Amino acid sequence: MTPVRPAAMVDLDEVALLLDIDGTLLDFAPTPSEAWVPPALRRTLAGLLARTGGALALVSGRPLAGLDLLFAPLELPAIGGHGAELRPAAGASADPDRTPGLDPRLKRTLATIAEIGPGILLEDKGYSLAVHYRLAPDKGETVREMVAAVCASFPELPLEILPGMAVVEVKPSAFDKATAVAELMRIAPFAGRRPVFVGDDVTDERVFPILPPMRGIGFSVSRRIDGVDGCFDAPADVRAWLDGLLARQPVG
């Protein structure tokens, strides 16, 4: 795949930049806590936030508190928890009652999956629970089957199972990244702008179909997804593209 560098398609005075994190801005790490943000990326994001008048947001499955810790001291507008949390401006507070958290009974039952052996890591995001098996790839099929069985044992809960890169995540089905992006694009300073979304994972796929009615542009990373306008080879290419966007834009 050849990275797409659509400089002519992106005017920072007219667009809203919506950026997934893991596998898009950042390279995958052995565990979520080991993800590393290059200092140059923080500077680029800060510059793009200013140049877009605040219309740049992270769109992630990580909770907002985790995003702030990862990118500290930089704080950005963000969608967290796969759409469970929304912060339209840096420094603003997310609505604490926006959506209910994942049922504690379900979390405790899912946690028993870690008993199948070492290398299975649990990540409690509040609104969801992720079961990582990147350190135990041979257990992937077993993990997926066990997660499905546990969720089936709670028929009263509206749940969604999200497969990802060596991870299976469970969340309520009432929200996702697409619903949150649609909501964000109705709020200033995002309202009236042309969304440019970059994502890589299964959880990002629902966002791409909602972009055309907003004259939006979608780019995938590492794999070509139906309906996208282009594809980047790797997160390093996305970071280079963002650097180029900032460098090519007039200042003042």
Report the catalytic residues.
20
Q: Are 247 and 43 in contact (CB under 8 A)?
A: no
Distances (CA, A) of 185 to 76, 92, 107, 153: 16, 16, 32, 37
| Alpha-carbon gap, residue 81 to 227, rounded angstroms | 24
| Alpha-carbon gap, residue 19 to 78, rounded angstroms | 9
Cβ-based neighbours of 227, under 8 Å, separated by 6 or more = 208, 209, 218
Comparing CA positions, the residue from 59, 43, 40 lying closest to residue 51 is: 43
Pairing of strands 56-59, 15-19: parallel
Residue with tokens 């140049």: 51
